[in-house]
């Protein structure tokens, strides 16, 4: 079993701006789990750090809140990775990027053209799908947070790494609770803990 590297680009020790890199130790090829943004006290955006776009095989977006998707278009300034997300996440992310640029475009390193490239690079996945992306096999499950939110399980070198994004484990009228039982055993669990 090879070693796997997890690197926090944003969201570690803070609320918002979540972004995680997953890669094999001996490879620069990477998977990005979320690419969020946060705001400072003056409402100026603070972007997650980015990984070199030419080495990014894919970006997986857990759901369409800015703290999880706001940095994603930056990868399209000089790269063209595929985005994987549910249909509701893709459509809502497009609206979130446009709204962000309308309100904060002055501070943004990306423009509408990069947001459009990100939208066009998106591929729809559904709960229960299993896909292969570079060195990784990805599984997707309902996270129960908002419509289209998902938990991603990354399989690489014999490890199962679960990335929850934001989850909800209680029944409500908007979405079904997270489908955690279907995920099974994992070796590594990456989740937020804001409460």
Q: What are the pLDDT digits (tens) for 17-45? A: 899 999 999 999 999 999 999 999 999 99
Q: Would you state the structure tokens that stand for residue 163, as one six-digit string? A: 């990335």
Whether 107 is in a domain gets the answer: yes
Between 113 and 16, name the one with better pLDDT.
113
The CATH number that applies at residue 48 is 3.60.15.10
| Beta strands per DSSP E along the chain | 4-10, 19-24, 30-33, 37-39, 45-47, 56-60, 82-85, 122-124, 130-133, 136-142, 150-156, 159-163, 188-190
CB-based contact 93:61 (threshold 8 Å): yes
Q: Which domain holds residue 171?
A: 4-190
Whether 167 is in a domain gets the answer: yes
Whether 180 is in a domain gets the answer: yes
Q: Would you state the structure tokens that stand for residue 22, as one six-digit string? A: 């997953």
Whether 195 is in a domain gets the answer: no
Measured CA to CA, the distance from residue 180 to residue 101 in angstroms comes to 35
pLDDT tens-digit readout, 158-187: 999 999 999 999 988 889 999 999 999 999
Please count the CA atoms within 13 angstroms of the CA of 158 that sit on its side-chain side.
Answer: 3
Q: Would you state the structure tokens that stand for residue 85, as one six-digit string? A: 């997300």
Please count the CA atoms within 13 angstroms of the CA of 129 that sit on its side-chain side.
Answer: 16
Number of domains making up the chain: 1
* Average pLDDT along the chain: 94
Tell me the pLDDT band of 194, cut-offs 50, 70 and 90.
low
State yes or no: pLDDT of 191 exceeds 60.
yes
Residue 149 has what pLDDT? Answer: 96
Residue 109 has what pLDDT? Answer: 95
């Amino acid at each position: 079993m090879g070693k796997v590297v997890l690197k926090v680009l944003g969201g570690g020790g803070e609320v918002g701006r979540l972004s995680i890199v997953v890669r094999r130790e001996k490879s620069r090829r990477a998977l990005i789990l979320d690419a969020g943004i946060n705001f400072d006290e003056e409402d100026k955006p603070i972007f997650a750090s980015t990984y070199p776009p030419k080495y990014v095989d894919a970006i997986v977006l857990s759901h369409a809140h800015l703290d999880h998707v706001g940095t994603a278009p930056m990868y399209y300034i000089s790269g063209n990775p595929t985005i994987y997300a549910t249909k509701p996440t893709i459509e809502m992310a497009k609206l979130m990027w446009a709204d962000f640029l309308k309100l904060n475009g002055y501070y943004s390193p990306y423009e509408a053209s990069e947001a459009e490239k990100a939208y066009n690079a998106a591929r729809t996945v559904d709960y229960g799908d299993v896909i292969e992306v570079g060195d990784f096999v990805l599984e997707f499950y309902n996270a129960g947070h908002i419509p289209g939110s998902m938990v991603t399980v990354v399989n690489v070198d014999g490890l199962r790494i679960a990335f929850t994004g934001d989850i909800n484990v209680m029944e409500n009228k908007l979405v079904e609770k997270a489908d955690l039982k279907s995920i099974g055993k994992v070796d590594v669990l990456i989740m937020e803990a804001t409460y």
